[in-house]
Structure 1
């Protein structure tokens, strides 16, 4: 069997974002870890929720791990979309975990290993198939051993892969030519961009990296709709 045919035969995990699967060869590879990065307000959390809702529709339990924001606020913000999110929360097909309350405590700082073990514990308590971790931005300032990030993150990603959960990690985009450990260690990187053109906001998505998957790395136009983010096949300009 040729390599191309082998890749096509692999199972895929639908992203839940209309148009995205078309540019990543049919969806995510199961059990892999993906990074979604972009500027503030670009839709990173929305993509994460769409990913979990898609799984819930197909009988797959999902977990949203909030590292900073209050999950209640996130749920309230997502009610603007036609996701039916509250129903999945009530049925416990999607669970929200608030680790921010621990990370933001002034009297105690977790180590990277403690943080990642807390996330793994939340995942292991249920038969979770999809995970969203939101957000990795500035966590170096909230842990006591910031210098150990790459080592601990590598172990954490390996543990997620062994659990066979498909994971999305979100992070703020810092500088276009500045990459973090997450960029190198994740199996795929999706970048959301926005531009000002003729006094209008133009939004675009780019698949920067997608291991083991033939993908289109060109900029694609995106738009916020009542059903969430939609990816279009054409360029944004």
Structure 2
């Protein structure tokens, strides 16, 4: 994997982000679910980087993840082979021999034979692919994603050590690790979800539909609070999450949505 590939370009950009942040590989390992040696391989392009690792690095450094995740999608296609062009099957060579007819076939006739040969071959390959997909289930994208991006299980914190940290950066928000304990949709469509990661013994709130200036606060026993505020146009409409707080599905929680020029809207989890 080199810098001339999409995967190499992604690795170089992630390395630049790490260097600008001043984070060492050891610091990354201590604050994410990935080891120091794994980060070294990811950032030097020796190994495909998981999507969750891109999320984690962006969360730790305050970098907008949108462009890098788009680049990751292209790199993922490259790593899994989905970006390779499909070449047409080679036309079999026919040995030279005298033609029985007085006149050779025309150029149009030869082109027609080649077209039908290629079309038949492509149709056969397509049918075979569809048969395999019907047997194993899922699209090529879904199968490749499943094979290359398994759920993160080596979470980076637990209970009190998760307090105030990002669920994404610590690997607590990966696929298959989250339970939504409660949801609330405001009258204007803003949506709040109380989320729980059992392996991390932590809870947090994920919000969607926020506008600049909106603030979401999670309150827990002993006066503990975590909050997130939509800062600008880039935050509008996208997922935002509070930092985590130590807790489980039985923890008493109160979630409040504070919209400018309106009374706070609260509910209990």
TM superposition score category, shorter chain reference? under 0.3
Q: Which protein is bigger by CA-based radius of gyration?
A: 2
TM-score by length of 2: 0.24
Higher helix share: 2
Greater share of strand residues, 1 or 2? 1
Higher RCO structure, 1 or 2 (CA under 8 Å, sep 6+):
1
